[in-house]
Amino acid sequence: MSYLIDPKLKQAKVLAEYALTGDSSIKKEVLKIIKENGDNTLKFPKLAQGPFQTEKESELAVIEAGKAVSEMGFTETVFGNVSTVFDNILYISTTGSNLKDLQNSIAYCDLEGKTLNGLNPSSELPSHLKIVKETHSTCVLHAHPFFTVVYSMIKGINGTMFGVPIVGGDAGGGESGIVHTVPLCLKEFNIVTVYSHGVFAVDAFDFNGPLKSIWKLESLCRKRYIEKYL
């Protein structure tokens, strides 16, 4: 299975290279990239409070969380995914969906991964299922905040960033997939970064905690990068 490549990843690699090498020849490009990726972390919305009690509440919560994480600039249009579980049904954004508008783009899956409403779930379904089955989490939010991705490439796999662990793994559920690293880490933490691939954050009640965790980490990474390397 092939996966779309985050269009911001090339830019993130330039910033990571500059931090790791100090190559002054790319500083102008670095400054341009930072200007293009302005500070989108200043506004933090309040989301619906859980735990969710109905199918409708669960679906609306996924739609709201997807819109929030998109409008805050933490994911490109078709990158990232959102899910919540209610009554043994996982409500998850569909593959390639626009997180800004998930209306009619939520797949219903049982906890074995079988689709119940004919829509194709996110390619990260295996990780979402394993997280809700093996942790106390009911809400999973996966995003690609720009400076968090940059810092993960600076610190490297098995490193940490502001106390948040960095794991490796490829997208999806194959032998080298993040399904083997992310859920395991989320047994002890409520947020984990995947090297060059963004962040997963979870909560047992609603999406307020995950969104705030992502927001705080991205704010810290942006601030530290500018202070330390520029």
In this predicted structure, which of 3-12, 58-67, 194-203 has the lowest mean pLDDT?
3-12
For 150-171, give one letter per residue: b (16+ CB within 10 A) or e.
bbbbbbebeeebeebbbbbbbb
In this predicted structure, which of 46-50, 96-100, 133-137 has the lowest mean pLDDT?
96-100
**For 9-37+45-229, which CATH superfamily applies?**
Class II aldolase/adducin N-terminal domain (3.40.225.10)
The average pLDDT across 50-64 equals: 97
Q: How far apart are CA 20 and CA 219, in angstroms?
A: 20
- Residue 164 half-sphere exposure toward CB, CA atoms < 13 A: 25
* Nearest by Cα to 210 from 191, 185, 189: 191
Q: How far apart are CA 222 and CA 42, in angstroms?
A: 12
Asked if omega into 126 is within 30° of 0 (cis), the reply is no
pLDDT at 118 over 70: yes
The pLDDT assigned to 39 comes to 78
Computed over every residue of the chain, the mean pLDDT equals 93
The average pLDDT across 206-227 equals: 96
Cα torsion at 70, 76, 78, 79 (round to 10°)?
-90
The pLDDT assigned to 5 comes to 65
pLDDT at 76 over 70: no
pLDDT at 1 over 50: no
When pLDDT is cut at 50, 70 and 90, the band that residue 79 belongs to is confident
Residue 70, judged by CB atoms within 10 A of its CB (0-12, 13-18, 19+), counts as buried
The pLDDT assigned to 4 comes to 57
Phi first, then psi, for residue 67 (nearest 5°) are: -65, -45
The average pLDDT across 101-113 equals: 96
The two tokens of residue 195 are 């090297």
The pLDDT assigned to 174 comes to 85
* Nearest by Cα to 41 from 81, 71, 67: 71
| For the chain, percent of residues with pLDDT exceeding 70 | 95
Q: How far apart are CA 175 and CA 139, in angstroms?
A: 25
Domain ranges of the chain: 9-37+45-229
The pLDDT assigned to 2 comes to 40
Task: Determine contact, residues 81/64, Cβ cutoff 8 Å.
Answer: no
